[in-house]
Amino acid sequence: MVYFLQQTLNALQLGSLYALIALGYTMVYGILRLINFAHGDLFMVGAFAAFGIAAWLGWPFVPTLLLSMAAVAALGVLIERLAYKPLRQAPKMSAVITALGVGIFLEHLMLVFNPYPRHMPELMPVHLWTVGRLSLSSHQVLIIGLSLVLMLILDWVVMRTKLGLAMRAIAWNGRIVPLMGVPVNRVISATFAMGAALGAAAGTLYAMAYPVIDPYMGVLVGWKAFIAAVVGGIGNVRGAVLGGFILAGVEIGVAAFLPTTYRDFISFGLLLVLLVVRPHGLLGRPRLEKV
Amino acid sequence: MSLLEVEHITQHFGGLCAVSDFSLRLEPGELVGLIGPNGAGKTTVFNIMTGVYRPTSGRIHLDGEDLVGLSPSAIHARGLARTFQNIRLFKKMTVLDNVRLARYARLGYNPLEALFHVGRFRAEELKILEHARSLLALFHLEDAAGERAENLPYGLQRKLEIIRALASQPRILLLDEPAAGMNPPEIEELMAFIQRIRKEFALTILLIEHQMRLVMGICDRLVVLDFGATIAEGLPHEIQKHPQVLQAYLGVEVGE
Amino acid sequence: MKMRWMIGVLLLAGFALSWAVPHFGWLDPYILLVLMYLGINIILTASLNLVNGYMGEFSVGHAGFMAVGAYVSSVLTVNLFPVTGAVFLFPVAVVGGGLAASLAGLLVSIPSFRTRGDYLAIVTLAFGMIVKSALENIESVGGPRGFMGMEQLTTLPWVYVWVVVTIWILRNLVFSKYGRGMAAIREDEVACDLCGVHTRRVKISAFVVSAFFAGVAGGLYAHVLQFINPRMFDILKSTEILIMVYLGGMASLGGSILGASIYTIAMELLREQGAWRMVLMPLLLILLMLFRPRGLFGLREFPWLVPLRDLVLLRPVKKQKEKTHVPAGS
């Protein structure tokens, strides 16, 4: 029982991080129908930004987090403007390939300056509470709590604000919305900024929880988050969160019974099975083609 | 027995009833027009007949064989070819390849023969090349054979789509708004074209159209659809005066 | 077109050269190695182009098929074949690797019946990840540490032969009803189905053939390097193949040859730049997509790669005697 609770906590922590990253994938996909393969690397840049700020400026947690989020948001918008926007009318695969290229570019640019893994300095002291054999660290509370707050803010923005309304409208039908006076470019930029900021938050939190960071860290975590977004139904904000927690639950569950090397095998297998059974994900809506 | 018998077709999409209890018989050599206001379910009828949708209930018999449940390609192989409301050519393929593609099912060689270009491959390919070429020549398109379909002018694209449908030597041709986007002289030409292929290819044709000029000019018989149900059926001049048709099209009250 | 027989002569001359160059030591061993990688990359690029370019799907798991071929052929030459006969049985091992990969291709083609576009891309991605993860868990082939013990059986003439065979067979397939079916699926799958094309069969043939040659490339690769591990066949490898495909151009075998050659040589020239090499490579790709999204040679083909039958009609000789006028709009 204690073991189960402990694993549940771990799953919640991992799930929060997956969900934060998955949100970035799903928002961009919802609005542009583009799998932003570079998103996992924005997460990595977020972690490195936090590392840089903490190591060289020595700032504490809150300003570090905010600056990292702001910087990566700017980077996300910049990438969109320079690399994706000119391709909006081009065949869709051009944009997807560009996204792959941007991802590799970010990874290796970072690798030039960080050829060896970096050790993240401690942003705040870790408290460890133990109840019987169950232990809970302040980092876990912070990660889960902060992720939930960010997700709630995002949900509020998407569901309750004018910007969110415009986002949902573009996701629904991107051709008509500009005719109604919605500043599409600004909405798209805002989407990228929000997605990237959430990715950076995840990166910062991740670096606190697992303090050895390297430029390739975004690859596998990014793909996992992407799976989470697909499992939940890509394009669906709540689905991304659901998918993140499900994936984390499965991974932690697998790791509890099998050698950890099976973890990726099972999670990707799960993805395949789900795609065959329910191609549009758990909360996604199938798109019908008109003949 | 009729060539094609559509019996009591009903199609629900969720709660929406797109087609209800639709029946139609096509006699060999007939040219029948399927008309009705926008959203009446005409294209849905085509989609059901060609196997894109499986009807909720009802049967379709071609020469006594039931078509319901067959895949689109299987129905195509039994002699039902169609065109589309919004032209659906293979844009980046050549005119020639658009036509050759339609004979896919009639090319009698297997993947292994294709991989090594041996066995029946050469003879079969030569045969369809000649066939496609002569078909294009028949409609003065042979010089455009190497052109990409997307580079053809609009009118020719419409025509090529019909030629593509003809390439499979269908028994029944379904034309979905062939005159869409055409001006009166072009429609005149299209009418002549349809009459011509009907005769030369011994076709039975069912066409969806909004252009009354075309429908009245060439159809033997008309079927009027509104809200998924047949509201009238008969000769063109009868339909013109049919009260329910006038109501559906013009909103005129019956009996007024 | 009367010069067709020249192609045969050139191919034979090329083979003689591929044998003579290493035999008489005309080139630096390093350059020979690069040439072998170049050939392997051509096979990978052309085979992926079948699915991604001709059929217009977006497969991101090509390295997975390559891995299957590499491992199966290596196990065959190291563990199953007698030591003395290994040299002669090498083609059997490569074909065996290719067949195993095509079996995997068959599996991946099944989801393609129902999904396409982004979702199929995800399926292929997951496939690639699963292969890598599965290999890491199979201890008998070394797990994450990798597998070794292969002799360097891949030689320049072998690579040359396989490149020629790959391009020839892919060309045959592309210029057949299956190839036209693939292009039609790319353009409009529903219309393709309604034109009587057995789309499932076409998809299976594309995936199976594409995977076969990826497996062949994997077998050749393993027997150049003499050491393989699962990390070699990760997403970065798949991306690299994608870059070569789109650099050369979609739906073009000539483009694939160009793309693979330019990329391989450029990467070797940039080797001195060290870490910056992999920064420049994606930058190149992004610029390419921005300014020439169809690649260098997309949707075009060298005439010598087109069968005469198709060539005659695609390049109509302008008729001099009667001007057949195509009336616009008729």
pLDDT single digits (tens) A122-164: 888 888 888 888 888 999 999 999 999 999 999 999 999 999 9
Average pLDDT, chain B: 92
Evaluate if residue C203 carries a pLDDT over 80: yes
Per-residue model confidence (pLDDT) at position B179 = 93
Residue C36 confidence class, pLDDT cut points 50, 70, 90: very high
- The residue with greater pLDDT, C284 or C30, is C30
Rounded Cα distance, C255 and C59, in Å: 18
Asked whether residue C44 is domain-assigned, the answer is yes
Residue A282 confidence class, pLDDT cut points 50, 70, 90: confident
Q: Which two tokens stand for residue C310?
A: 């198709």
What is each CA distance from C259 to C43, C67, C241, in whole angstroms?
Answer: 11, 22, 10
Domains of chain B, first to last: 1-79+170-256 (3.40.50.300), 92-163 (no CATH)
Residues of C in contact with B107 (CB under 8 A): 177
Other C-beta atoms closer than 10 Å to the C-beta of A48 total 26
Instruction: State whether residue A58 is helix, strand or coil.
Output: coil
- The residue with greater pLDDT, A181 or A41, is A41
A105·C279 Cβ contact <8 A: yes
Does C86 contact chain B (CB < 8 Å)? no
Evaluate if residue C120 carries a pLDDT over 50: yes
Rounded Cα distance, A195 and A237, in Å: 11
Contact A166, A182 (CB under 8 A): yes
C289·A92 Cβ contact <8 A: no
Range of the domain at C210: 28-232
Asked whether residue C198 is domain-assigned, the answer is yes
Q: Which of B82, B143, B153 sits opposite C328 (nearest CB)?
A: B153
- The residue with greater pLDDT, A208 or B245, is A208
What is each CA distance from B135 to A191, B140, B147, B226, in whole angstroms?
Answer: 53, 9, 16, 37
ipTM over 0.85: yes
Evaluate if residue C317 carries a pLDDT over 70: no
DSSP of B156-177: HHHHHHHHHHHHT--SEEEEES
Residue C312 confidence class, pLDDT cut points 50, 70, 90: low
Out of A180-194, A249-263, B90-104, C255-269, least confident range: A249-263
CATH code of domain A2-277: 1.10.3470
User: Which residue has tokens 């040589």?
Assistant: C265
Domain count, chain C: 1
Asked whether residue C73 is domain-assigned, the answer is yes
Per-residue model confidence (pLDDT) at position B252 = 60
Residues of chain C with pLDDT > 90, as a percent, come to 72
CA B119 remoteness from chain centre: 35
Residues of chain C with pLDDT > 70, as a percent, come to 94
For residue C125, give how far its alpha carbon lies from the nearest alpha carbon of chain A (Å).
Answer: 9
Rounded Cα distance, C173 and C171, in Å: 5
- Residues ≥6 apart with Cβ < 8 Å to B22: B6, B8, B9, B10, B41, B45, B58, B225, B228, B229, B230
Average pLDDT, chain C: 90
Per-residue model confidence (pLDDT) at position C321 = 39
Contact C130, A269 (CB under 8 A): yes
Contact A214, A117 (CB under 8 A): yes
Q: Which chains touch C (3 or more CB pairs under 8 A)?
A: A, B
- The residue with greater pLDDT, B174 or A238, is B174
Residue A189 confidence class, pLDDT cut points 50, 70, 90: very high
Per-residue model confidence (pLDDT) at position A91 = 79
Residue C328 confidence class, pLDDT cut points 50, 70, 90: very low
Q: Where are the beta strands (DSSP E) in chain B?
A: 4-13, 16-26, 31-35, 57-62, 65-66, 80-82, 172-176, 204-208, 221-226, 229-234
Asked whether residue C291 is domain-assigned, the answer is no
Per-residue model confidence (pLDDT) at position C330 = 34
What is each CA distance from C72 to B96, C43, C126, C237, in whole angstroms?
Answer: 42, 18, 20, 19
Per-residue model confidence (pLDDT) at position A11 = 93
Nearest CA in chain C to A271: C126
Residue A290 confidence class, pLDDT cut points 50, 70, 90: low
User: Positive or negative, the Cα torsion across B33, B37, B41, B47?
Assistant: positive
- Residues ≥6 apart with Cβ < 8 Å to B191: B214, B217, B218
pTM of the entire structure? 0.91
What is each CA distance from C196 to A233, B43, C193, C250, in whole angstroms?
Answer: 33, 19, 6, 25
Per-residue model confidence (pLDDT) at position A289 = 61
**Would you kindly state where each structural domain of chain A is located, as residue ranges?**
2-277
Contact A232, A22 (CB under 8 A): yes
Q: What is the mean pLDDT of residues C116-141?
A: 89
Residues composing chain B: 256
- Residues ≥6 apart with Cβ < 8 Å to B12: B18, B56
Residues of C in contact with A83 (CB under 8 A): 286, 290
Condensed to tens digits (0 to 9), the pLDDT of residues C58-80 reads 899 999 999 999 999 999 999 98
Go through C291-309 and write b for each residue having 16 or more CB atoms within 10 A of its CB, e for each that does not.
eebbbbbbbebeeebbbee
Residues of C in contact with B154 (CB under 8 A): 329
Question: What is the enclosing helix (H) or strand (E) of A273?
Answer: helix A262-277
Rounded Cα distance, B31 and A46, in Å: 67
Q: What is the mean pLDDT of residues C141-170?
A: 95
Rounded Cα distance, B101 and C187, in Å: 12
- Residues ≥6 apart with Cβ < 8 Å to C12: none
